[in-house]
Structure 1
Amino acid sequence: MKKISYLVLLISAFFLCVRAEGRNLSHEEQLVRVGIGAYNDGFYDIAEKQFSQFLREFPTHKSASEISYLLGKTCLDRGKIKEAKRLFSRILNDGKNFEFVDYAFFWAAEIEVKLGNGEEARRLLLSLANRFPKFEWIDNVYFRLGLLDVEANRLSSAESSFKKVLALSKRDEVIRPSWFWLGILFYRQKNHEEAARYFKSVGEDPRLVSQTYQRYALFWLCETQLQMGRFGEARSTCKMFTDRFREDTLSAQIHWRFGFCEYRLGNSHDSVQIFRSFLKESKDIEMVYLTQYLLGEILLITGDYASSAKEMTLLLAKDQGNGLWGAGAIILYWNYLHLGEIDGANKIFQRLQRLNHSEDDKLFVQWLNAEITFSEGKVADALPYYFNLVNSKYRQRALFQIGKGYFFENKFREAITNLDILLLEFPDSNAAEECLFLKGECLSKLGEVDQALETYGLVTRQNRMTHWRLFALTQTGSLYSLRNEQEKAEEAFKRAIQDFPDHSLFYHAALQLANLNFKKKDIAEALYYYSIVLKANTLELLGEAYFALGEIFYQQGKDEKAFKHFEAAISHLKETSPWFFLTQLEIGNLQRKWERYEEARKSFRIVLDRSEDEEIKRAAKELLNHVESH
């Protein structure tokens, strides 16, 4: 330490200046000279012996405080903590005018930390900071105060101390560790953005920070990114950790998180391989349970029901108190259903019901029973289970499922009642937009169009880019189209196109806009939107667009182009579609116009033989009679 060296030089100069006077060293001078030489050379046992003898023989010497300080530091370096504490405490309590009292405070605090006396260490450091704000190591003082406050869970004080380090210091050896601990503090406060910013700063230049802080900063950066759902960034952080620290005590934890990122990013195959590798190496029982559960969940999602069932069977064979047993049993239940093993599924469900459940567990099993019954399409059978849950903590979800169930059962008034109750009691529900959309659908089915439009408007005015907003805009446009309110219909479909350019319903909205413009004879605008629809991958939409383009060209007298587009429409339309038969009528008309009567008869016969629409069949029969007259 710079100040220790200065003290040694100062004492050496005082005691050794006798050489300049040309006389022999006195006994006390010899003790100090030998002690200082031994200290400088690292022979602390000899230094301790010399300094101790000096203090015994010359306790009132004017340099006694300085020698006590050197002896205290020597004892500290030798690990004689209690003796060092006694010496530094005496220096602080003597009240003498000692030049290095600030350093005595510092080392006394260090000793208290080593002895586990955090509060006493903190008291000494605070005294040092208050009395000696220009202390050479003041940044280190605040750093240690921050660490002590973290340990004592005084988060606000810790944050203040670490920020003082950043304001006062220019040394990376305390600045970057302070960034790390600020990251930890913000993580604990759930301020993940700030936490990530500090963790990233720690290791920006690996040369300026110890490997320990690099490792932990990367680990906690990954953890923070996981908490924020930034799985791509977390995966990159895991890779950076692995590249820098190939053999590390944290490697297994990083390896697991890498697998979790792959799982959340949809890379199921890679995540399965990583988790299986982790299971072969890990001895952490809790992590093994969690990994087996995740493997079972991933394999269920990917359709590998047999492998998923195997993982869940292993999990269920373990202690039922592991916290994942119930969830694992549910996954195994679903696997058995997919595998057609009904007996196995029933046994698992019975085991769930026979467990020594708390009241919450009993409610969960009842909820599970309702959900399973509902998912099997037995909506009417599921409703009583949900009604049993409306006065429990599942009330919100039960009301939602009851409303949805009544909708599926075409009991629209009952559906509206339950959806309204939910929206009234839980206005901030995550399902609020879906509830409003379902209510709009119910009102539309009941013919209450004005109320339906008003309800859809509650969804579209929220300006949240969810698919429920898109559905509401689409239904709004459709209802206005049916009421021949063309401008309002166009407005709704245009908003759908503007807000959701990457959704498949984008092309549906474009088709409706094309049809609306065709209807008002704005051919240029209609052609623009039809050209958009032709970029879609949905056959039915392509068929409708080609048919409409054929109609435009037919009305313009461009029969060849019309015929070409009608043929394209046929290749994209299903025979169950009314557009298929309308297109056959138009093809037949053109063939009749060109006096290709046999081809015309063929088109009209297809309509008569296969269509179930009586109006279209009547038109085809009338046209066929015209052909037969030739």
Structure 2
Amino acid sequence: MLNRSRLFIILYFSITLFMYCDVNFDYRASYSLYRDGFYDIAERSFTEFLEKYPDSIYREKALYFVSLSMMKQNNLKGSIQSLTELAKNPAFEYRDAVVYNLTLNYHEAGDYSKSLEYYTIARTLNLSSEWQENILFTAIKNYIFLNNEPKAIELADQYITKQQYEIHKMDILKFMSDYYLANKNYQKAIIHIDLMITEKNLLPSDREIVSYNYLYSLFMLGRDRDVVSFFERNELQYTSELYEIVADCYYRLGDKEKSFAILDTLYMNTKDHEIAYKQSVILSEAKNYRKALELLESRSNPVDYILEKAQFAMLIPDASKSLQIFKRKKITDYSREEIIAFTDIVNFLNDTRSYKNIADNIIICDSLLNTERNLILYNTGVALYNAGEYKSSSTVMNRWIKEFTDDLLYDRVLYMNGVAQKNLKQYQNAISEFSKVQRIKKEDKIYYESFVEKGECFFYLKEYAQAIKMYELYLANKITDVRKNECMLQLGNAHYNIKKYTNAYKVYDNYKKLYGNKNNIYVKIADTFLKSANYKEAQEYFANQSNIGDYPFFVFLFSTFKNEDFATVFNNKQNIYAYEKTEYFKEMLYLVVLSGQKMKKNEELIVVSEKNKQLIVSEHSGKIRRALLYSFLKIRRDDLAVSLFEKPDNTMYYFLGESFCDFLYPEIATKWFNNVINNKITLEYREILKVFKFYIETNNYTMAEKTAEFMSILFPVSFEPLLFKYIIYINTGNFEELKKLSTHSRIKENKIFETLVKFSLEYLTDMNKEKYLNHLSNLLDDADIDTAVIKQVIKQIFLLSIDLADYKKAIVVINKIPSAKMNSIDADIRILEALIYEKTGNIEKAIDLYLKIYYIYPTDIFVVYTSILRVINIYKVTNEIQRIKKIKEMFEDKYFIIEGKI
């Protein structure tokens, strides 16, 4: 038993020793990897060791070196996890190092509160001086990042006051100064920078940074003299930023010349536009505005610093240049300050185009404060309104109205917007705006003037009753009468437009009494008289007025003429020359001529004609010439009549032919009728019939045939041209032409006409008038006497009856015509009827018909004249002198003097 026990003991210790040797070897191998810097391999080796020997006496040490390996690889999370586990054992050999490293690692991981927890523990441990210095530095940073500035400063002061602490001194000073600089606490920053700047071992690169921070802090503290002093004492490699700071300090100290020189050198090296701007400010403060502008223009982009450039231009002063500078940039890209400055310049120049640009880009006002937007919108809207740019003005004012309903000027802007809408012909919108003004009911000038404007809108909409109401409301007010003048005028116009001429006259007359003859008031009064045909009052009103103008004087003469006071009109024949250069002079002269005719002042009319000969001859319408023509022909002064128409245009040819024809001047009439036919001047149906009859009556068959041909062109579907030719051929006895006519296709369309032509051909062959008369009489059986053919048949029957002195057939024909149809028979047939009565001894009936012709056919003057002559001849036989005198007067009053023609 003893030997066996000893053997077990020997075997146990042998195995244990062998195992111990393996653990020790693995541990030392892993440590060697860590020591030599193979941290990733060391981490894996120690991790494997822990897995292989979980109960080893080296376990905690191995875990420690795992955490250190992770820390070296910046695996803070893994390192913190391992160290935290080790920290739980206060008896761990390296616990001080564990706490130290946890303090650092938690800081690096951003868990500053946790870092401070371990810092608190670490302070109780017996750490080396270096480690104490490191954790103090770490604690300072923790407090800063936790925004616990007082505690951070407290610890920083502790660190700096310990003379043996040097490792992090510069870092702490730099960290603290950077912190204060970032928080703009320049007073505290300068304290730390002062300590840094005296450090002899400061690297040159660090010295430049420290110098910059030092000067910057001094600059921000306003210690400009210290900045300049440091700059002048130290020859350092300053950055451009430092040079700019120094230049700013010289500037603030009043040494602008040195400041400008430094900035100039700086600009040459940097081409920095901001430097150029500072130079321009220095120049402007020296009141050298033009040079300031030139420098800034040459050293910056055109669209940069437009606000400053524009301000310099204004100070030159050159407002137009200032505006041009602003125009380099889109208005929608303006800053708030630029918008304000731009509108100030626009206001100064009252530049309409720029105001319109604001209106077109009104969105720019969104960036303004309420008070700024109010003022700019108001000024822009008013300026555009005053410039007559109503569309743009309304755009701006609509925006203002939506935003500033409580503004004291609200009613004024509503009013202006209403006027703008009115001028844009948006009358309903305008009425709406004026109604809003009236609802505010301030009862001031604007309030009452809104009624005038609203009335104008209704006026333009032709709602005259509403317009009248608005005008009357204004005229009734006791506050203002500034627009009473125009309001009264429009009130009268409104009455006039609804044909209330009496009301219009009353308003106009009242206006005239208040304001005199302004705004053509006499013209308006005259027009009311004319429109209402109130000729009596018109004559009375203007009879004693002077300087009334051409149109009112014309209305006076016209009304007087209509009142048949021809003497007054004619007696004003000299007064009309006051208006000789006006458009109504011809009308006045015409009324004088007509009145002269009515009064039979023919000799005086000759004087009037001679005095106004040039005007009358050149008159386009020929109205006065026509009137004078009748006057001269009436007194048988054809020489004067002809002189009025020496060079008439072709539109008057027919009139002249007709006039001379009617007044029995066949030779002159022939000349003008020939011009009509030869020049193929278009005529009406009635007119061409007159021309044809004239040629037949004067036996001018050549021109009569031309007239028939012309009629066939003017009235191609008319049957009359064929009838015309028939009349010509039967009157001239032209058998051959009549025979040709009988073959015309249209002849067969009218059976009576076809038969008439057939009988006429027989007559021209045998010249048997009795037979021909019988044939013609038979054609009337059941015939319609209204046709031109039948009327021609009747005329030929009457002529043959008179020629054969066989009046019985003619009387039979007369008896066949219904009395109701008699007046539709042509005048030249009716006079033949009267002649038949005379030939058969029925003198009384003949006289009755001759006189009826005078009344029934007033335009057939030749027939009328012939009828009157027949009556006079009858009375001559019976020696009835008084009747002859009366008939002559009757005819001459209406037509012309017949003395010498009987």
TM-score (normalizing by structure 2):
0.35
TM-score (normalizing by structure 1):
0.47
Higher relative contact order (CA 8 A, sep 6+): 1
